[in-house]
Amino acid sequence: MTILANNDLDCSCENNDLYVWLLNQKTPNVNITEVYCSQTGISISSHISTFDSFSYDCKLKHYIGLLGLISIPVSVAICAVFYHRHYQNILRLRRIRRQLKDFAEENVAPQQHFLLYLAYSFTDSETVLHTIFPELEARLQRELNVADKLVCISDRDFDVGTSISDEIIRAVSSCTAVLFVISKEFASSRWCEFESEIAIYQQKPIIIVVLEQIKIKSFPTSLRKYVRNGQG
């Protein structure tokens, strides 16, 4: 036999299990309709059914506490991801500056003898070399009434046996503007990413031609930021 007379319960979530038991007890010939609990020294009389909502409040507080505990590591993880991306951008910018500095120290500053640098993926070479490039250069030569080479492309104008990164820096530096031929292959190429980084860092005017349907979010990181910032 359990006697609870003259033993007020504490109105707290610590006794929640006891409240649940009182609500669900199946003892024959026992009908609990009213209980008493105390809170800050004051005795409170209440019908047993009101403890149902009290039990819900206790569970809610428990879940809120759990969410708070979970949100801390999640927030830390999100901050870590953003910090990592920011740190990677800083490293990328430092790398570009270092490469440009090394190139300037080892080479005479290139003269601006090309009007346009044409950047494209090796996978798209056939389309570029047989359609875009010849028509573009011929049109520019007619408009300017010159026979000189006006468009710089890697397949024709890069020196064999030289560092690709140095050739990209030299080519972009020697051109007035840069035209990017965007495709899915371009977006996944690290060399195309490097070309866009150099062009943006040198503040070259940029022209974008899209070969196929591709979302801006798939562009190389630096070029995507350039477009979304309204610079393109």
pLDDT in tens, 90-119: 556 566 566 555 555 555 455 558 899 999
Beta-strand (E) ranges in the chain?
9-10, 34-39, 42-47, 114-119, 151-152, 175-182, 206-210
* Phi and psi, residue 205, nearest 5°: -60, 135
Give me the pLDDT at residue 177, please: 92
Q: Is the pTM of this model over 0.75?
A: no
pLDDT in tens, 178-187: 999 999 999 9
Residue ranges of domains in the chain: 9-53, 114-228
Sorted by sequence, the CB contacts under 8 Å of residue 127 that are 6+ apart come out as 181, 211
Q: How many CA atoms lie within 13 A of 92 on its CB side?
A: 17
Coil, strand or helix at 225: helix
CB 119 within 8 A of CB 195: yes
Got the DSSP string for 117-128? Answer: EEE--GGGHHHI
CATH no. for 114-228: 3.40.50.10140
